[in-house]
Amino acid sequence: MKSLITALLLLASVTLTRADTASQLTAVQAADDARVAAMRKPTQENLGAIFSDELRYSHSTGAVDTKASFTAALTQGKSKYLSVEYEERNFTFPAPGIALMSGRAKFNIELETGPIAPTLAFLAVWRLEEGKWRFLAWQSCKLPTPAAP
C-alpha cells in the first residue's frame, strides 16, 4: 500500500510539473513575442520592461550590447528590426526561473550602413525576475545562404 501511495504521489508531482512547464512555456513565448514587437517599434519604456538590467546581446557580427547600448541603438533608429520570422523556436527549462530559447530565424534589419537580411541560428536566455520573464542574453550566428537550384 505504501508503495502505491508513493507511486501516486510521484505521478501527481510529474503531472503538476508538466502543467507548470506548459504554463511557463506559454508565458515565455508571450514574452518573446512582446520582445520582437518592442524591437520592431521601440520605446524606452517597452524595451526597459522586457530587457533584463543584465542584458548581454551578442550580435552575429561579434559586437556585444548591454541593455543601455542596445536600447539606445533601437530607440535612436541606428538598428531597425523590420521583421523577424522564426523558422524554428524551441524552449527548454534547465533550472527553476530559467528558460533557454534556441532556433533559427530570418531577420530584416535596417542599419546605418544599409539593410541586411540574415538567417540566424540563435540561443537566448530568459530569466524569471520578480514574477516576470525578462530577456537576459542573446547569441547568434549567420547561417549560409542556400545555394540557388
The residue segments making up the domain with residue 31 are: 2-142
Would residue 39 count as lying in a domain? yes
Number of structural domains the chain divides into: 1
Residue 138 resides in a domain:
yes
The answer to whether residue 147 is domain-embedded is no
Is 18 within a domain?
A: yes
pLDDT for residue 5: 56
Tell me the mean pLDDT in the region 92-102: 96
pLDDT at 134 over 90: yes
Q: 71 lies in a domain?
A: yes
Helix ranges (H only) for the chain are 2-40, 44-50, 67-75
Q: What angle do CA 114, 43, 48 make, to 5 degrees?
A: 115
9: which 3 cell numbers? 504521489
Mean pLDDT of 52-75: 97
Query: Which pLDDT value is given to residue 112?
Result: 92
Question: Contact 121/104 with Cβ under 8 angstroms?
Answer: yes
Structural domain includes residue 149: no
Q: Could you tell me the CATH number of the domain that includes residue 78?
A: 3.10.450.50
Nearest residue to 138 (alpha-carbon basis) of 59, 33, 63, 28: 59
148 domain-assigned: no
